Structure 1
Amino acid sequence: MLVNQGWQEGNARWRSKILTRKLSYHNPIVGWNTQIPKPHNIPFRFRKVWISHKSLKDVVEASWNEPLYDVPIRKVVKKLKRLKQKLKSWSFEVFGNHAQHLKQLEEEMVQILKDQEN
């Protein structure tokens, strides 16, 4: 692998590893960027707290029972995708912004620890 100084400066988070030779006189090199950008399609996470809320079943039933016309296998995929969006919206309405709430709790914890030190 040959690179110049300009490439190294522009790719400071690039790492590589030389692998063992197998089929030729050359060693393969694998490289990767250590700073991976956040994906646009973040995986769906079901939150345990949702189970305790009385309206969860109604949200799921309403979404699943909405009519959808397609071949059966695509129907399932489309219904799951639709349900995912409905659950995200419902969760935000019922429980609020999870990340913001967590940040607020962390700030309160830091303040409690500071108060105990004094």
Structure 2
Amino acid sequence: MLVNQVWLQGNVRWRSKILKRKISYHSPIVGWNTLIPKPDNIPFWFLKAWIHHDTLKDVVEANWNEPLYDVPIRKVVKKLKRLKQKLKSWSFEIFGNHDQHLKCLEEEMDQILKD
């Protein structure tokens, strides 16, 4: 990332973070403007590991069969939203903190590369 003083003065709300190197010798940099609010509708990630767990089908089935009274199209949207929350809490109970686990693995990998 290359910037100069004029650019920095014109973008005083700009922040950046240097990320860990993964593939090449270069570290990626992510930048953002703090005036732009963080979105509320952050994407929902369905983890492939969930498919292999025995209780996933039960969680989805129980949530979908739970009664909900509304017009049909809103019913689907509300059920999906409710399912998203259930899956997030179920995943945390079963698999633990995914981000924390990933961070530990990255630290182990860094240590291996250093050794």
TM-score (norm 1): 0.68
CA displacement at 1:67 relative to structure 2: 0.5
* Structure 1 stretches lacking a partner, 5+ long: 1-7, 15-32
- Correspondence 1:1-118 to 2 at 5 A: 9=9, 11-12=11-12, 34-35=32-33, 37-115=37-115
Moved more, 37-46 or 105-114: 37-46
Amino acid of the residue matched to residue 66 of structure 2? E
2:75 & 2:104 partners in 1: Cα distance? 40
Amino acid of the residue matched to residue 11 of structure 1? N
Percentage of matched positions with identical amino acids:
80
Superposed CA deviations along residues 12-66 of structure 1, whole A, max 9, x for unmatched, are 467xxxxxxxxxxxxxxxxxx9535532221111111100000000000000000
Amino acid of the residue matched to residue 9 of structure 1? Q
Superposed CA deviations along residues 84-112 of structure 1, whole A, max 9, x for unmatched, are 00001001111111111111000001111
Amino acid of the residue matched to residue 38 of structure 2? K
2:40 & 2:113 partners in 1: Cα distance? 36
1:48 & 1:105 partners in 2: Cα distance? 18
Q: Note the aligned Cα RMSD (angstroms).
A: 2.2
TM-score (norm 2): 0.69
In our comparison, the structure showing a higher alpha carbon Rg is 1
CA displacement at 1:11 relative to structure 2: 2.5
1:100 & 1:37 partners in 2: Cα distance? 25
Q: 1:37 to 1:98 in 2, by over 3 A?
A: farther
Matched length: 90
